[in-house]
């Protein structure tokens, strides 16, 4: 079993004081959780402050996005190097909200992965189909296209540092999660695809699930052989819920 990764994407939520409150409680509730990677992605404005509160805790920081250049005249943007400097270890890339509201494409996602690796940030690369695509039986084709576009030009040595997040768009913020079987089917196919392209290294790559993850469904999701963690939105804003998700019930699982 790979080391599980539970990541909280706070999206555009929390002031600094709200973030502090959340982190203080999370620290308490995750004390001693050493067999798992716990990551939070607060808004940019809180990262610097929160890094000091997280010192000595197992919780790591992620950025929700980044820009592809190192520095320069790109008003309003933040580079991977700056995010590393402020204390991030991971960066969420290609979230469906970025694709939808900010016109990100597989090509920009690809450039952001390179930028992220250049700065020694681990990319958490998001893929997932819309409801219409699922209804039209296009799910596997869509995620395959997204992965191929996102990972274009990456060799096995770079791919090993990635985390993939399968986040069906219809499950995000709707309260309707993919069933463990639906998620496992996609994760399994993604793993096969990565094995074909990159060989054995794909077996060590974590594929996490996102979309209405909550304390009530995490144990079942994590029992699936190819679900190596979760990317949590709404429930990560509640310390008790997020900590319960991070302390999911472990059950033995083997991949075929």
3-state class percentages of the chain: helix first, strand second, coil last, to nearest 5: 45, 15, 35
Least distance in Å: CB of 209 to ligand 13P?
10
Q: Does 208 bind ligand 13P (CB under 6 A)?
A: no
Of residues 6, 234, 239, 242, which one binds ligand 13P by CB under 6 A? 234
Residue 163's alpha-carbon distances to 6, 93, 103, 222, 230, in angstroms, are 11, 10, 22, 16, 11
Of 39 and 151, nearer to ligand 13P (C-beta) is 39
- Joined tokens for residue 212: 């209405």
Q: Is 187 a catalytic residue?
A: no
Q: Does 64 bind ligand 13P (CB under 6 A)?
A: no
Of residues 26, 222, 233, 242, which one binds ligand 13P by CB under 6 A? 233
* In the block, residue with structure tokens 């520095």: 71
Are 44 and 19 within 8 A, CB to CB?
A: no
Q: What string marks each residue from 158 to 197 as x (binds ligand 13P by CB under 6 A) or -?
A: ---------x----xx------------------------
What is the H or E stretch that residue 15 is in?
A: none
What is the H or E stretch that residue 135 is in?
A: helix 131-135
DSSP letter at 249 equals P
Of residues 61, 210, 241, 245, which one binds ligand 13P by CB under 6 A? 210
Q: Which of 104, 167, 184, 187 is catalytic?
A: 167
Site of interaction with ligand 13P (CB under 6 A): 9, 95, 167, 172-173, 210-213, 231-235
Annotated active-site positions, please?
Answer: 95, 167
């Amino acid at each position: 079993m790979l080391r599980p990764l539970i990541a909280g994407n706070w999206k555009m939520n929390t002031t600094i004081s709200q973030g502090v409150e959340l982190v203080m409680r999370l620290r308490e509730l995750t004390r001693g959780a050493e067999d798992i990677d716990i990551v939070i992605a607060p808004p940019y404005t809180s990262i610097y402050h929160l890094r000091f509160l997280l010192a000595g805790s197992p919780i790591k920081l992620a950025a929700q996005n980044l820009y592809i250049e190192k520095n320069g005249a790109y008003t309003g943007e933040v580079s991977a190097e700056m995010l590393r400097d402020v204390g991030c270890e991971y960066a969420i890339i290609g979230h469906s909200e970025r694709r939808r509201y900010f016109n990100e494409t597989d090509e920009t996602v690809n450039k952001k992965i390179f930028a992220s690796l250049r700065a020694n940030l681990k990319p958490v690369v998001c893929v997932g189909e819309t409801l219409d695509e699922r209804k039209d039986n296009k799910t596997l084709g869509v995620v395959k296209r997204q992965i191929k576009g996102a990972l274009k030009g990456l060799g096995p040595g770079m791919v090993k540092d990635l985390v993939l997040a399968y986040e069906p768009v219809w499950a995000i913020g709707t309260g309707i999660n993919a069933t463990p079987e639906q998620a496992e089917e996609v994760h399994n196919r993604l793993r096969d695809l990565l094995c074909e392209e990159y060989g054995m290294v794909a077996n060590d790559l974590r594929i996490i699930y996102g979309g209405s993850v909550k304390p009530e469904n995490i144990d079942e999701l994590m029992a699936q052989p190819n679900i190596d963690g979760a990317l949590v939105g709404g429930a990560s804003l509640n310390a008790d819920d997020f900590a319960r998700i991070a302390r999911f019930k472990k059950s033995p699982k083997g991949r075929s």
